[in-house]
Amino acid sequence: MTVGMINANPVVHERPERAAHPHPADAIDALDVFDTVRDIKDPEHPYSLEQLSVLSEESVSVDEKLGRIQITFTPTVQHCSMATVIGLCLRLKLMQNFPPHFKIDIKVAPGSLANEESVNKQLNDKERVAAALENPNLRQLVDECLCSNDSHSH
Amino acid sequence: MAMDGGAAAVLREAHRLTGHTDRVWSLAWNPSPGAGAGPVLASCGGDKAVRIWKRAADGAWQCSDVLEDTHNRTVRSCAWSPDGKLLATASFDSTTAIWEYSGGDFECVATLEGHENEVKSVSWSASGSLLATCSRDKSVWIWEMQPGNEYECVSVQQGHTQDVKMVQWHPILDVLVSVSYDNSIRVWADDGDDEWHCVQTLTEANNCGHSSTVWALSFNQKGDRMVTCSDDHTLKIWDTSADLSQPKTSDNQESWRHLSTLTGYHNRTIFSAHWSSEDIIASGAGDDAICLFAEDKSSMVEGPSYRLILKKEKAHDMDINCVRWCPQDPRMLASASDDGTVKLWELRGNALD
């Protein structure tokens, strides 16, 4: 990690509770996906991505017919160098929890990051993602972010 | 072709090869398996292993060898030497291993080091005396084979501005092509004094090039056409008949040029393309589909155009990373996927008229 935090004063929100919603047991919808990723920990702070407003319910869209999951996340600051780590966490979490035929597209919210185009391209190059996840230091960081109370995961 | 009558083309799944425990990244058919030997196919992947597949007497395909414990990260690419006696494997561990193949056994006889990051691709020149590698470190290395399983690095090229995805030699000339995450295609040649240079760069700006990562390329048999495929969901066909291996003079300004763009056939990244000796282009993509194309000889438009022969939807359960036509049987296609399998396909029916 770099000396000093990229964002020393994040805004933190309460974690809203949400009632379970009925739907066929094997169907997947945006709220299921959101529940899977909302509690991923920020790489720098002891808060979840949801608490930091990196993610919200509106971040996720699912087209089950096409087998596609799209996530748009908002890094906490414009020059956040942790954006690629957050993207890796999202991708690994989704790969571990949803059927392999789903295509996953991850992007930063438009206008939210100085090097948006570059980060988006990197996060959606599956070869670079695979190589990054073979890097032991990076993999450990990602695993730590994914290691949380799994009471809200499927 | 008379043998296929008028039946429409069909790609039939003939065999499904299992054994890899992670995604399969790349495939390579041995171009010269030896007198009396049937086809030999190498596959490699995320399980850090290379598998060798052969057809048994009863027609079933078997894994005859597993090469492992040499690379400690993903094996991203594999390539046979033209004489079929050597197999090169490129790995995310930053090395390229050279294996000697004597028809039955493999022995690792050399390890090429120097790249700072993952090696993405390896390719032998048509003469078999040169080997090229490329890496996420943005460089393209050219190695010359020396006696005694030695490889001398004769050139390190730095022209790409990003990750280099694939290198491929021209099928006849000592001309090398590299494609990159920087969206460009670069052509490299020796100026005659053992000095390698970039002799042409094909980009979106000035050559009708790709608008996103270029993942792979393939030449036709004569080397006068090339196909490239990209994250922009297109395939591009190039006229590569100009001989770029000759030093440029003031009266020799020939260059390669764009001929055609195939768009609308795949809706995800196209990871692989391969041109058969029967002039059929296969593509494999992140939409889990295989497409086959051929030149449209009935077209009246100026310049060549290419038509879809067929699209095999759901060819695999996940992304297709590599498609390769069998050199001994040009109607057999191998494909490799994130689903951990290799499939062998038979092309039947009338594909060319």
Cβ–Cβ of B46/A130 closer than 8 Å?
A: yes
Q: Assign A115 a pLDDT band (cuts: 50, 70, 90).
A: confident
What superfamily does domain A28-146 belong to in CATH? Fe-S cluster assembly (FSCA) (3.30.300.130)
Q: What is the pLDDT at residue B212?
A: 97
- Cα B20 to Cα B30: distance, rounded to the nearest angstrom: 19
pLDDT at B6: 66
- Placement of tokens 């689903």 in the chain: B339
pLDDT per position as a tens digit, A4-42: 666 777 788 766 655 665 656 667 889 899 999 999 989
- Tell me the CA distances in angstroms from A66 to A21, A61, A121, B146, B226, one per residue in order: 22, 12, 22, 52, 32
Q: Which of A100, A121, A131 sits opposite B136 (nearest CB)?
A: A131
pLDDT exceeds cutoff 60 at A94: yes
Whole-number pLDDT of residue A77: 78
Residue spans of chain B under pLDDT 50: 1-4
pLDDT at residue B3, as a whole number: 46
A130 neighbors A13 (Cβ within 8 angstroms): no
Query: Best of B48, B72, B118, B119 to disrupt the A interface by mutation (most A CBs within 10 Å)?
Result: B118
Report residue B324 as tokens. 């390769």
Q: What is the pLDDT of residue B5?
A: 57
Q: What pLDDT does A151 receive?
A: 46
Instruction: Report how far apart, in Å, the C-alpha atoms of B305 and of each of B255, B267, B349 are.
Output: 20, 20, 22
* Domains along chain B with CATH numbers: 24-158 (2.130.10.10)
3-class secondary structure, A130: helix
For residues B206 and A132, which has the higher predicted lDDT (pLDDT)? A132
Residue A152 pLDDT greater than 60, yes or no: no
DSSP code string of B254-291: ---EEEEEE-SS-SS-EEEEEE-TTS-EEEEETTS-EE
In terms of Cβ atoms closer than 10 Å to its own Cβ (0-12, 13-18, 19+), residue A117 is exposed
Which pLDDT band holds residue A2 (cuts at 50, 70, 90)?
A: very low
Cα maximum dimension of chain A: 48
pLDDT at B227: 98
Kindly tell me if the per-residue pLDDT of A107 is higher than 90. Answer: no
What was the pLDDT predicted at A31? 87
Which residues in A lie closer than 8 A to residue B92 (C-beta atoms)?
130-131, 134
Contacts of B143 (CB under 8 A, 6+ apart): B112, B130, B131, B132, B133, B151, B152, B153, B154
Contact B23 A130 (CB under 8 A): yes
| Structure ipTM | 0.94
> Which residue, B321, B323, B318, is CA-closest to B344?
B323
Q: A90, A48, A83: which is closest to A69 by C-alpha?
A: A90
At CB < 8 Å, which residues of chain A contact B?
Answer: 100-101, 103, 121, 125-128, 130-131, 134
d(CA B99, CA B84): 11
Shortest alpha-carbon distance between residue A51 and chain B (Å): 33
